[in-house]
Chains A and B, each alone.
Chain A
Amino acid sequence: MNRKLSVSKLIFYIVLIGYAIICLGPFLWSFITSFKPTSEINNFNINFKTLSAKNYVFLWKEFPFARWVFNSIYVALIVTFGNLLFNSMAGYALARINFPGKKVLFFAILGMMMVPGQVVMVPTFILLSKLGWVNTYKGLTIPFLTSLFGIFLMRQFFTSIPKAIEESAMIDGLSRFGIFFRIVLPLARPALSTQFILMFTGNWNSFLWPSLLAQSEEMFTLPVGLNSFYGQYYQFWDQVLAGVMILSIPTILIFLIFQRNFIKGIATTGLKE
């Protein structure tokens, strides 16, 4: 019995480690290559003497990578904080405040969640170009400040916190806004941090809309910039892969730092609906 168990355990470990190599291998290989000189990118072995950060320095100096990094951070932060505020407000109202039209609004949200975003792509683009928002920060941020999924998530969270806390605050004469900002929002920290990471990584990685809205090089976000850079420099893999690392390392780091909450948050938001 014991022996059989240890054999199955061994198989389990082989599967788990094998899959971990499949997951991490491509990153490690690309990471190492990004430090190699162009002449050695196809070499299997790693020549530690020739490894250097020159590809990164090159990208930073010769291309607007710094600008793209700035654009990505700026846009992702504005969109993320907009979503945190507006989704919580709407989610809170739907969970706790009685107002006419609330039911209709909630069902409308559920209905809208079934519509793929690409359906509104063409008219939204026409609208943004009429507004003169194409190739501006406004265009990259304002249409994305709220999210249906985020509202849904916050509503579910607010329904689960006890009502008594708000009632006592109301007796003390606090307004709805006071209750929301001083009492409810601080309680929502776990839901907010999950949403922060989801929204930030989602927006940082977003490609389709920024590729339409950012048209000149200085407005590119990192994914758009990397795509255009790759198109022109596809034979210089050492430099291209340095660009890949600049794009992917920030979200991986954020994930590693917050991974405990992140995975827990994803797990619960996926199911406790």
Chain B
Amino acid sequence: MNLQLETKNNFKKNVMTMKKLKRRERVDGWLFVTPFVISAAVFFIGPLLVAFMLSFKEYSYLDMISMFEAPWVGFANYLNAFQDSTFLKALLNTSIYSLGVVPIQLTIALLLALIVDSNLKGKTFFRVAYYIPTVTSTVAVSVMFMFIFKTDGILNRILAIFNLPAYNWFGDTRLALPSIMMMAIWSSVGLYMVIFLAGLQDIPTSLYEAARIDGANKLQEVLYITIPLLKPTIFFNLVVSLIGTFQVFDQAYVVSNGTGGPLDSTMTVVLYLYNTGFRDFQMGYASAIAFILFAIIFILTLIQRKFFGEETEF
């Protein structure tokens, strides 16, 4: 065998192994993602397509026909939703809840993060204390607050010390929703504070030093350095918090025993979706409500992205 032939053969061999390796890679890649792809197809993509179909049908789980045979009703489910006073109330409640909870919880979280981040002792303790409500079950939190907020509970007794009247917090149509909002703020401030803290860590200290040389005071530092540079974190928290609040369910369900009461004052979109789908078995209507929720969340995210610019890859 001469040298030329040998090189040629070697080259051929190498090309062969390269091809083999590439094929191997392709197979391996798909093997690695197979469990996820199956799970996503069966429990997400499939149901998503079915939900979309159902939203244009009238179908009850109790019907003797399959959902594929159920009659088409066009946009009736969507149109009905906007004439359904309970759904509109749920939408209003959820909007109030979201517009109240998001700014208050993010402001408290940001203020606490700024204070905890400054040079103080006991940082770890405060971080841990503020985070504990976040890891606690919403069901446990709801039941605990029902105890604290009950008519003869500790909250009203503390108010009495300051000569303030006692309220029936979760039983009063005007106070039930704000009480749930308070609970929500209490249970998630810790999460957003921790994310803000991480964002603060990324701001280079040299900027503050430069500002100090130019004679800036603490407030100016916060306003002109911290807040602008924290914009991506603020954006991230805004989106997460908004999406989360629009999906509120557990608290409203536990507090009102699933009814959204008193008088629909704690009815939320997801609670209504749950009730229409699984208590009344109107699954076509429930699917339409689900897509309305999807549209709202999607639009809110787009608006925020516009508002905060494109600098954040999300």
Residue of B51, B67, B197 ringed by the most chain A CB atoms within 10 A: B51
Chain A 89-131 interface 0/1 with B at a Cβ cutoff of 8 Å (1 = within): 1101110011111100100000010111111111111110000
Stretch touching chain A among B6-14, B94-102, B249-257: B249-257
Q: Is the interface of A mostly helix, strand, loop or mixed?
A: helix
User: Does A248 belong to the interface (CB within 8 Å)?
Assistant: yes
Contact A97 B125, CB 8 Å, known A16-B116, A252-B135: no
Taking a contact as CB atoms under 8 Å apart, the answer to whether A122 and B139 are in contact is no
Q: Are A116 and B126 interface neighbours, CB within 8 A?
A: no
Instruction: Given the known inter-chain contacts A99-B28, A259-B131, please indicate yes or no for A122 contacting B120, CB distance below 8 A.
Output: no
A24 in contact with B132 (CB, 8 Å): yes
- Say how far B178's CB is from chain A's closest CB, in angstroms: 16
Tell yes or no: B236 within 8 A of A by CB: yes
- Cβ-defined contact, B152 with A115, below 8 A: no
Cβ of A55 within 8 Å of any chain B Cβ, yes or no, is no
Q: Which of A57-65, A188-196, A260-268 contacts B (4 or more CB under 8 A)?
A: A260-268
Instruction: Specify which of B39, B48, B247 is in contact with A146 (CB 8 Å cutoff).
Output: B39
Closest to A12 in B: B115
CB-based nearest B residue for A22: B186
**With an 8 A cutoff between CB atoms, is B147 at the interface?**
yes
- The answer on a CB contact under 8 Å between B197 and A267 is yes
- Known A-B contacts A226-B139, A263-B127; the reply to A105 vs B46 at CB < 8 A is no
Cβ of A207: which chain B residues have Cβ within 8 Å of it?
137-139, 249-250, 253-254
B165 within 8 A of A: no
Chain A interface size band reads: 35 or more
Is B130 part of the contact surface with A, judged by Cβ < 8 Å? yes
Of B47, B137, B277, B291, the contact of A205 (CB 8 Å cutoff): B137
B157 within 8 Å of A (CB atoms): yes
Residues of chain B within 8 A of A87, CB atoms compared: 36
CB of A7 closer than 8 Å to a CB of B: no
Contact A227 B254 (CB under 8 A): yes
A145 within 8 A of B: yes
Q: B297: which A residues are within 8 A, CB to CB?
A: 114, 116
Proximity string of chain B (67-97) to chain A, C-beta cutoff 8 Å, 1 when within and 0 when not = 1000000000000000000000000000000
- Assembled-state Cα–Cα distance A92/B145 (Å): 43
Please state if A93 and B48 are interface contacts (CB–CB under 8 Å): no
Other-chain residue from B127, B140, B250, B286 in contact with A122 (beta carbon distance below 8 A): B286
How far apart sit A259 and B29, CA to CA, in the bound complex (Å)?
A: 35
Give the 4 A-B residue pairs with the shortest CB-CB distance, closest first. A99-B29, A267-B198, A93-B32, A123-B47
